[in-house]
Chain A
Amino acid sequence: MNILLVEDNQADALLLTELLEDTEKAPVLHWVTDGHYALDYVYRRAPYQNAWQPDLILLDLGLPRLSGYEVLQELKKSACTVPVIVLSTSGNPEDTSRCLDLGARDYICKPRNLDGYTALVQRLMMLELPKTA
């Protein structure tokens, strides 16, 4: 299982990496720090020509250069089928529905503590994901 993590906060990214590595499935995590790199990765543009198609994208909203919303918009336009789960700090209902409208599969508020993160990782590992070609 390949997961593309789009996250500009290094501490959050490292924690998720560590917790995901500890799971049974031990998915491969690719981490990029902004929306531009995320699209480059998905469309296999340089420097990601040889990247594997991710099975899941975990997307932060407040990103440098290209925001999470713009990434969602772009992916929707290109009819990208990779499921996207938004991970963000703001839990307000407007953001949630905006993301779902833009094709996000789910919107998850970033947990505040380790228990929350552990539960989040468990939830991600239980997702039914479409098999990639």
Chain B
Amino acid sequence: MPQTPKKSSASVLSAGDPSHTVWYIAAMEELVGVVKQLSHARDLESVMRIVRKAARELTGADGATFVLRDDDKCYYADEDAITPLWKGQRFPMSACISGWVMLNGKPAVIEDIYNDPRIPADAYRPTFVKSLAMVPIRTEAPVGAIGNYWAQRHQPRNEEVAILQALADVTSVAIENAQLYTELQGKVRALQESNYELSRFAWVASHDLQEPLRTIVTRVELLSQRYHNQLDDRAQDYVHTAAEGARRLQQLVQDLLVHASAEKVENFHIVALAQVLREVRQDMHTLIVESNAEIFVDNLPQVQGNPALLGQLFQNLLGNAIKFRKAGTKPHIHIGCREEGAEWHITVEDNGIGIDPAYRERVFGLFQRLHTQDVYPGSGIGLATCRKIVELHSGRIWVEAAPAGGSAFHILLPRAYKDHGNDA
């Protein structure tokens, strides 16, 4: 939680010296800049780098240290000074002024360090330090301290200490943010790993399922072909149903395998979508001819991606557009593309049966089907794979109603190279 300085700024200004007021305002302005910088800091190192520099500049001191509490030790994590101080060293909390500051949760201001019992003089003798001011980072259970040091004897003024304390207060927020961010990064990484594991498992499982399935399918087919005469109608029906079930399971396993294989590919390169679509149409030639489908394709751009995955995307979408056609209607599919800011907006529109608005999000889930197997067979995996592929390409996909009454799938893909424009 943000810490608010205990004293209001009005009370720290020394009365009667206008030059101090001018200094104080300038320091406050600088502090605002530091707060801005700190708001972008994502790790403790960046926080320290910003703070050790600011701590010295704000007060014009000859040196500044950034001390972190490390159990019962004070760890001099970072510094910025005219000559080296104690960077990298650890001192017991009880034998160090930063320890006193952290234990007491309040600043220490010392004009003559050799005349203060809290100061371990031996540690200071090799340094330039004559005077110092030290403030805790967080007043409740301090996590560290910020020190300012002067080479000439100097009585740190109230406003110098107040500015330093304000810096320490924003630093504590920045440290907490950095810790949260690091924690979040760790969780994101763990999640990515577990996702990968899951995907890997799905792949291995579906791959290994193919073998026994092949055995079942071929044997059942052998049975029905070679022993046809020895089976009565009921037995033939059993065999037929078993074969159908096994084939459906094969398709399911195949679709799952494709879904699990859609993984982040290391190297994305420039892919001409027009070429991808040409190949998809070749692969789907039989289905397109048999269904009498008409497919119109606008000029399509080049995008950054993986051609095999993008091919799978269009194959699934075209396959759906043909499968879910209106009975007695020639499938009419239009693939369009327009530029939209930093993205390409690609649409795949059909004149098929469309998707009820209530299900337009659900259809992208795994194993989501809206029809029974005998009306429109399928595994309910295809659109989940489409979404996965589009997201791997940093894009978005959704479905709306098409003007012709069917479905319009919308895909946004980042524009890789603005200048390469349309490539038909």
Q: With contacts A11-B214, A113-B214, A114-B218 known, what are 14 further pairs, Cβ within 8 A?
A: A9-B215, A11-B211, A11-B215, A11-B219, A15-B215, A15-B222, A89-B210, A113-B218, A113-B221, A113-B247, A113-B250, A114-B217, A114-B225, A117-B218
User: Would you list the 3 A-B pairs with minimal beta carbon distance, nearest first?
Assistant: A114-B221, A11-B215, A113-B217
Q: Which residues of A contact B210 (CB under 8 A)?
A: 89, 112
Chain B proximity of A64: nearest CB distance (Å): 14
Q: A110, B207: Cβ atoms under 8 Å?
A: no
In the complex, which residues of chain A have a beta carbon less than 8 angstroms from the beta carbon of B214?
11-12, 110-113
A2 cross-chain contacts in B, Cβ below 8 A: none
Contact B207 A90, beta carbon cutoff 8 Å: yes
Closest to B210 in A: A89
Interchain Cβ contacts within 8 Å, total number: 38
Cα distance, A115 to B224, chains bound together (Å): 13
B113 to chain A, nearest CB (A): 70
> If A89-B207, A89-B210, A90-B207 touch, does A112 touch B217 (CB 8 Å cutoff)?
yes
B221→A12 contact, CB < 8 A: no
Encoded as 1 (CB less than 8 Å from any B CB) or 0, chain A from 9 to 28 comes to 10110010000000000000
Instruction: With CB as the reference atom, state the residue of chain A lying closest to B211.
Output: A9
Report B237-278 residues with CB < 8 Å from chain A CB.
247, 250
Neighbouring B residues of A117 by C-beta, 8 Å: 218
B139-182 vs A, Cβ < 8 Å mask (1 yes, 0 no): 00000000000000000000000000000000000000000000
Give the CA-CA distance A15 to B214 in the complex, in Å.
11
Closest-by-CB residue of A relative to B261 is: A92
Q: Given that A112-B250, A113-B247 are contacting pairs, would A15 and B218 also be in contact in the complex, using a CB cutoff of 8 Å?
A: yes
List CB contacts (< 8 Å) of A114-133 with chain B. Answer: 114-115, 117
Interface residues of A in 78-125 (CB under 8 A from B): 89-90, 110-115, 117
Judging by beta carbons under 8 Å apart, are A12 and B215 in contact? yes
Chain B interface helix/strand/loop/mixed: helix
Can you report 6 A-B residue pairs in the complex whose CB atoms are below 8 A from each other? A9-B211, A11-B215, A15-B219, A111-B214, A114-B222, A114-B225
A114 to B214 CA separation, bound complex (whole angstroms): 9
Nearest CB in chain B to that of A113: its residue: B217
In the complex, A112 Cα to B221 Cα: how many Å?
11
Contacts of A9 in B (CB 8 A): 211, 215
Closest-by-CB residue of B relative to A9 is: B211
A42 to B107, CA, bound (A): 86
Shortest A101–chain B CB gap in Å is 20
Q: In whole Å, how far is A92's beta carbon from the nearest beta carbon of chain B?
A: 8
Chain A: CB-nearest residue to B222: A114
How far, in angstroms, from A12 to B215 measured CA to CA in the complex? 7
Q: A113-B247, A114-B225 are known contacts. Are A89 and B211 too (CB-CB below 8 A)?
A: yes
B222 surroundings in chain A (CB, below 8 A) = 15, 114
Chain A CB within 10 Å — which of B211, B214, B217, B225 has the most?
B214
Chain A hits for B215, CB < 8 A: 9, 11-12, 15
When C-beta atoms are compared, the residue in chain B nearest to A89 turns out to be B210
- CB neighbours (8 Å) of A11 from chain B are 211, 214-215, 218-219
| Docked pose: A92 CA to B344 CA in angstroms | 30
With both chains docked as a complex, state the minimum distance between the C-beta of A99 and any C-beta of chain B, in angstroms.
Answer: 18
Among B195-218, those with CB < 8 Å from A are 207, 210-211, 213-215, 217-218
Flag A52-90 by CB within 8 Å of B: 1 or 0 each: 000000000000000000000000000000000000011
Q: How far is the CA of A115 from the CA of B214 in the complex (A)?
A: 12
Q: Give Cα distance in the complex from A9 to B210, angstroms.
A: 12
Closest to A111 in B: B214
Minimum CB distance partner of B253 in chain A: A112
> Which residues on the A side are within 8 Å of B218 (C-beta)?
11, 15, 113-114, 117
Name, among A11, A15, A89, A113, the residue most crowded by chain B CB atoms within 10 Å (CB to CB): A113
- Inter-chain CA distance A11–B213, complex, in Å, is 11
How far, in Å, is A56 (CB) from chain B's closest CB? 21
A75 to B218, CA, bound (A): 32
Shortest B255–chain A CB gap in Å is: 13
